[in-house]
């Protein structure tokens, strides 16, 4: 190699290393997007270093971009098949997606490469346990068609309330505002709601949601307003703060919560019972949309299942899973604003009538319209691309524009992605992301936001807010064991 090339190579190497160190700093400061940009620059200078690819994979994992994490980790493994961190990062991303069998293969590789690493051994054991448990559950599961609803086996009237119970009570069959306020107050003081009343709320909401179409039309009369909130993710104290800033849900102050009520935050039971209770109190005071986290596989991994078992019971796990399948998939406000948790579709020409026709009473499938509604994200480029998450797709401004034209709509509002300011306006102003969990997972430092629409013009008025303190229970406190090992 001529001397000039050797010098250039060593200059490149040291430049790439500098970028990696800057990226590591950004990562430590929880600035994951910035870290990804810097690792990308390092890779552009030297794309043959497995460490840069594996580090970028880890940063993608932090942003829940598991599809991109798997791609990067795979590249690290191609560059250096003996690099244990490549398998480790890919395994962790597979785990986060609930792909336990693929994860297991990667952790077995880690163990092979580092036979004496106690950490690798521990993680492999956890993963093996999870896969065994899954196989067992699959083996004993009853096919959908032959399944009885768990609701049929519960009669809350027969559940006694102990005389010493001092919490909120529902008198008779009607959920009142006084009850909801008292319950929220109890929750604020970390007290539980009696199982009898929890059953009453969840069974009542089950009947209510079951009767709704998959796409719900919302009518806001002239001179009235309507508020849309994004992901809350079990952050109960921030939910209370939204109500303090913008008023409690009522006929005159209606809300739509756009999915991902639960998981990650460790007050998910309090959030879901509060939202459900308001809906029981007054169906037109609050509308609820399904998010990708209103599903069994996500709840198993990200904390809701563990929290429900801890605060209520195993029966409630099944009951919530069933009720989540009854949540509508999208809403349209005054025929003009389309609100959905994730985003748009892999094909053009989807009509609102197609969304109404979706048979939603199931766990979300891996592909198709229902999956895309819950999982897709916008992208800055035109056209469509693969999803960073490994599920759904990314769609550009042209896709948004065509969908709006085809359905005579003005705006898409969606959630599903944490944003520094709590919201982001994209696609020539035709698409707004709103996210209502500030300082997400106690570490992202983002603001939360909600959108107020006034009829008739429905111009979006965005309000942002900061996180409020909460009791010292960490996010993911109830999450699956092995996921905590990886965070």
Number of helices followed by number of strands (H, E) in the chain: 18, 14
Low-confidence ranges of the chain (pLDDT < 50): none
Question: End-to-end alpha-carbon separation of the chain, Å?
Answer: 44
Sheet holding 411-414, edge to edge: 215-218, 330-333, 337-340, 411-414, 431-434, 423-426
Residue 482: what pLDDT?
61
- The CATH number of the structural domain formed by 150-486 is 3.60.21.10
What's the burial of 28, exposed, middle or buried (CB within 10 Å: 0-12/13-18/19+)?
A: exposed
Residue 3: what pLDDT?
54
Alpha helices by DSSP H, 357-480: 369-375, 397-406
Residue 136: what pLDDT?
81
CA-CA distances (angstroms) from residue 61 to 109, 269, 287, 296, 409?
20, 26, 31, 21, 35
CA-CA distances (angstroms) from residue 370 to 355, 386, 406?
8, 17, 19
Residue 462: how many CA atoms within 13 Å on its side-chain side? 16
Q: Which of 257, 261, 258 is nearest to 235 (CA)?
A: 261
Residue 134: what pLDDT?
77
Q: pLDDT for 246-270, tens place per residue? A: 999 999 999 999 999 999 999 999 9
Residue 50: what pLDDT?
97
- Would you mind telling me the total number of residues written for the chain in this entry? 487
**C-alpha–C-alpha distance, residues 202 and 280, integer Å:** 9
Q: CATH 1.25.40.10 region(s) of the chain?
A: 3-140
Q: CATH 3.60.21.10 region(s) of the chain?
A: 150-486
Site of tokens 């480029």:
381
293 is catalytic: yes
Site of tokens 């919560």:
257
Residue 137: what pLDDT?
78
Geometric angle at alpha carbon 468, from 191 and 32, rounded to 5°: 120
Residue 308: what pLDDT?
98
- Sequence-distant contacts of 155-158: CB under 8 A, at least 24 apart: 156/196, 156/197, 156/199, 156/200, 156/203
Structure-token pair, residue 49: 């270093």
Site of tokens 């590249």:
75
Q: Which residues make Cβ contacts (< 8 Å) with residue 293, sequence separation at least 6?
A: 233, 259, 260, 261, 262, 263, 264, 299, 302, 304
Percentages (nearest 5) of helix, strand, coil residues in the chain: 50, 10, 40
HEC letters along 102-169: HHHHHHHHHHHHCCCCHHHHHHHHHHHHHHHHHHHHHHHCCCHHHCCCHHHHCCHHHCCCCCCCCCCC
**C-alpha–C-alpha distance, residues 130 and 101, integer Å:** 9
Q: Where are the beta strands (DSSP E) in 150-237?
A: 215-218, 225-229
On whether the CB atoms of residues 417 and 436 are closer than 8 A, the answer is no
Structure-token pair, residue 203: 């069974």
Residue 141: what pLDDT?
75
Determine phi and psi for 286, rounding to 5 degrees. -150, 135
Q: Which residues make Cβ contacts (< 8 Å) with residue 6, sequence separation at least 6?
A: none
CATH fold of the domain at 3-140: 1.25.40
Residue among 233, 293, 331, 341 flagged as catalytic: 293
**C-alpha–C-alpha distance, residues 45 and 61, integer Å:** 23
Q: What is the pTM of this model?
A: 0.94
For the four alpha carbons of 8, 13, 18 and 22, in that order, the dihedral sign comes to positive
Site of tokens 């007050």:
267
Q: pLDDT for 5-62, tens place per residue? A: 566 677 888 999 999 999 999 999 999 999 999 999 999 999 999 999 999 999 999 9
Residue 11: what pLDDT?
82
Task: Classify strands 330-333 and 215-218 as parallel, antiparallel or unpaired.
Answer: parallel
Task: Classify strands 225-229 and 255-257 as parallel, antiparallel or unpaired.
Answer: parallel
What's the burial of 395, exposed, middle or buried (CB within 10 Å: 0-12/13-18/19+)?
A: buried
Q: Which of 421, 416, 379 is nearest to 400 (CA)?
A: 379
Residue 120: what pLDDT?
81
On whether the CB atoms of residues 363 and 399 are closer than 8 A, the answer is no
Residue 118: what pLDDT?
85
């Amino acid at each position: 190699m001529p001397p000039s090339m050797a010098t250039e190579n060593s200059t490149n190497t040291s430049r790439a290393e500098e970028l990696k160190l800057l990226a590591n700093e950004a990562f430590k400061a929880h600035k994951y997007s910035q870290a990804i940009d810097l690792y990308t620059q390092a890779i552009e200078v030297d794309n043959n270093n497995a460490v840069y690819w594996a580090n970028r994979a880890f940063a993608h994992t932090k942003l829940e971009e598991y599809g991109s994490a798997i791609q990067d980790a795979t590249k690290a493994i191609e560059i250096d098949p003996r690099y244990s961190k490549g398998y480790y990062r890919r395994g962790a991303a597979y785990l986060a997606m609930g792909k336990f069998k693929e994860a297991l293969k990667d952790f077995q590789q880690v163990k092979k490469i580092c036979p004496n690493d106690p950490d690798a051994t521990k993680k492999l054991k956890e993963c093996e346990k999870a896969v065994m448990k899954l196989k067992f559950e699959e083996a004993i599961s009853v096919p959908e068609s032959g399944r009885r609803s768990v609701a049929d086996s519960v009669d809350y009237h027969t559940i006694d309330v102990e005389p010493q119970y001092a919490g909120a009570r529902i008198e008779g069959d009607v959920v009142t505002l006084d009850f909801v306020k008292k319950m929220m107050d109890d929750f604020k003081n970390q007290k539980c709601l009696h199982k009898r009343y929890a059953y009453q709320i969840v069974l009542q909401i089950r009947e209510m949601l079951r009767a709704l179409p998959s796409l719900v039309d919302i009518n806001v009369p002239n001179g009235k307003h309507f508020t849309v909130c994004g992901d809350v993710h079990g952050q109960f104290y921030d939910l209370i703060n939204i109500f303090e800033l913008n008023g409690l849900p009522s006929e005159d102050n209606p809300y739509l919560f756009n999915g991902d009520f639960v998981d990650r935050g460790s007050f998910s039971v309090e959030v879901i019972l509060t939202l459900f209770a308001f809906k029981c109190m007054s169906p037109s005071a609050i509308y609820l949309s399904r998010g990708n986290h209103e599903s069994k596989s996500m709840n198993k991994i990200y904390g809701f299942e563990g929290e429900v078992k801890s605060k209520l019971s195993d029966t409630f796990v099944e009951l919530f899973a069933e009720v989540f399948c009854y949540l509508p998939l999208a809403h349209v406000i005054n025929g003009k604003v389309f609100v959905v948790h994730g985003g748009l579709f892999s094909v053009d020409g989807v009509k609102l009538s197609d969304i109404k026709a979706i048979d939603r009473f199931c766990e979300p499938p891996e592909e198709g319209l229902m999956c895309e509604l819950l999982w897709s994200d916008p992208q800055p480029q035109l056209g469509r691309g693969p999803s960073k998450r490994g599920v759904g797709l990314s769609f550009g401004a042209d896709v948004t524009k065509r969908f709006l034209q085809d359905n005579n709509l003005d705006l898409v509002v969606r959630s599903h992605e944490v944003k520094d300011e709590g919201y982001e306006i994209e696609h020539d102003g035709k698409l707004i992301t709103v996210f209502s969990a500030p300082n997400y997972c106690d570490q992202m430092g983002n603001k939360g936001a909600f959108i107020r629409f006034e009829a008739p013009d429905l111009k979006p008025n965005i309000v942002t807010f900061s996180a409020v303190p909460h009791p010292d229970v960490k996010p993911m406190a109830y999450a699956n064991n092995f996921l905590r090992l990886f965070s």
